């Protein structure tokens, strides 16, 4: 009888040990393109054996979800999407401080992003804002080739322009913040009002407008230029434009969620995602951002950041909670309500 008890006890211990070994898991919130999110999740799972549950939402939506879950966090790590909402999450204490041993492999702009947020986020890629247009539709509608931001407000483009809603999309919020920095606040909002008159739809996702342009559903899509390149490389009749006046850019970021249930797994993912090997996965899914690891490969098709007229984008100011809320409310109150 005692032998049987010992055997049952040993079996129970073995079962418990096996259970704990299988318990490693990660809840992964992703704000990059769907295919990239899936590849990151699957590759990390393959590399570590950690079970990954991935949810893909735009950066604005993910920020709202993390904020809503703050008293009972369900996510562990947030990867991708524009840096502004990551900075706001850091400011509001929604993300955790972490200094990765991988930092010495990163470009200075990635470290700068971390330092401006008290090490609660870090840069994983960068990309310039611009737009792309469907060359077939442009010709079919006998429209001139747009070369500047100002061109997109001209009457001939009415109903031909698409962008995302800045409340849900980090890309669109970067657009709003860029116009304010380019033209001053009054001029920037005048620009957004003029642009609004030509918008045919505000999408939820930042990359949706250029996908619609690629499919021939709209003529012009305001997006990060790397998303327009992805459509062109895929064979769609899309031409990529770096606007003549200059433009803003993003530092796509990654953050560990404060109070993460799987904190050790989150740190493992964070370190892995900063490696050149993980960042090279972007090339498999036609993601044309500039990676933050100096040893990672940048596609020859990626926009050449050194040839684009970039503004000195103020990430700290426009990533702050108060400024982001203020600008979004002003856009809601003064732009979105106007007739089209």
CA dihedral 195, 196, 199, 200 (to 10 degrees): -170
Tokens of 179: 């116009």
Residues 170-227: tens digit of each pLDDT: 999 999 999 999 999 999 999 999 999 999 999 999 999 999 999 999 999 999 999 9
Q: What is the pLDDT of residue 22?
A: 52
- Beta-bridged to residue 132, according to DSSP, are 221, 240
The superfamily CATH assigns to domain 26-126+250-299 is Periplasmic binding protein-like II (3.40.190.10)
In the prediction, which pLDDT does 340 show?
83
DSSP H or E segment with residue 10: helix 2-22
User: How is 70-116 classified by DSSP, letter by letter?
Assistant: TTS---SEEE-S-HHHHHHHHHTT-EE----TTGGGB-HHHHHHHHT
- Does residue 239 contact residue 256 with C-beta atoms inside 8 Å? no
Place of tokens 């250029």: 210
**Angstrom distance (rounded) from CA 269 to CA 286:** 22
**3-class DSSP assignment, residue 124:** strand
The pTM assigned to this predicted structure is: 0.84
Distance CA 286, CA 276 (A): 16
Say how many residues make up the chain.
340
For CATH 3.40.190.10, the residue range(s) in the chain are 26-126+250-299, 128-249+322-334
Could you tell me the fold of the domain covering 128-249+322-334? Answer: D-Maltodextrin-Binding Protein; domain 2 (3.40.190)
Q: Which residues, at least 6 apart from 3, have a Cβ–Cβ distance to it below 8 Å?
A: none
Give the distance, in angstroms, between the CA of residue 243 and the centroid of all CA atoms in the same chain: 21
Residue 99, C-beta contacts closer than 8 angstroms, at least 6 positions apart: 114, 119
Which residues, in sequence order, are CB contacts of 326 under 8 Å at separation 6+?
none
Report, as ranges of residue numbers, the positions in the chain whose pLDDT lies below 70. Answer: 1-23
CB neighbour list of residue 298: distance below 8 Å, 6 or more residues apart:
290, 291
Contact in structure between 165 and 156 (CB atoms under 8 Å) = no
**How many alpha carbons lie under 13 Å from residue 104 in its C-beta half-sphere?**
1
Rounded Cα distance between 12 and 2, Å, is: 15
């Amino acid at each position: 009888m005692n032998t049987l008890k010992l055997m049952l006890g040993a079996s129970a211990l073995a079962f418990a040990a096996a259970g704990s070994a299988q318990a490693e898991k990660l809840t992964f919130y992703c704000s990059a393109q769907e295919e990239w999110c899936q590849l990151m999740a699957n590759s990390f799972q393959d590399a570590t054996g950690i079970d990954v549950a991935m949810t893909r939402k735009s950066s604005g939506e993910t920020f709202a979800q993390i904020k809503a879950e703050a008293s009972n966090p369900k996510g562990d790590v947030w990867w991708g999407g524009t840096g502004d909402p990551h900075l706001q999450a850091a400011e509001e204490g929604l993300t955790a401080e972490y200094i990765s041993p991988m930092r010495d492999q990163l470009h200075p702009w990635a470290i700068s992003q971390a330092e401006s947020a008290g090490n609660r986020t870090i840069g994983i890629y960068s990309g310039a804002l611009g737009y792309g247009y469907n060359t077939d539709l442009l010709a079919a509608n006998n429209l001139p080739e747009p070369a500047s931001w100002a061109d997109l407000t001209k009457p001939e483009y009415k109903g031909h322009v698409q962008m995302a809603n800045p409340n849900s999309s980090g890309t669109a919020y970067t657009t709003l913040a860029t116009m304010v920095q380019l033209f001053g606040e009054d001029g920037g909002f005048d620009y957004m009002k003029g642009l609004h008159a030509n918008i045919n739809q505000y999408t939820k996702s930042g990359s949706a407008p250029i996908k619609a342009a690629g499919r021939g559903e709209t003529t012009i899509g305001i997006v990060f230029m790397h998303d327009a390149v992805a459509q062109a490389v895929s064979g769609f009749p899309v031409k990529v434009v770096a606007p003549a006046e200059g433009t803003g850019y993003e530092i796509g970021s990654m953050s560990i969620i404060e109070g993460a249930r799987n904190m050790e797994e989150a740190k493992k993912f964070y370190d892995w995602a900063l490696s050149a090997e993980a960042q090279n996965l972007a090339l498999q899914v036609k993601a044309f951002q500039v990676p933050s690891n100096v040893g990672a490969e940048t596609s020859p098709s990626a926009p050449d950041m050194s040839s684009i007229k970039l503004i000195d984008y103020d990430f700290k100011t426009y990533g702050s909670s108060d400024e982001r809320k203020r600008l979004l409310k002003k856009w809601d109150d003064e732009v979105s309500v106007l007739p089209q």
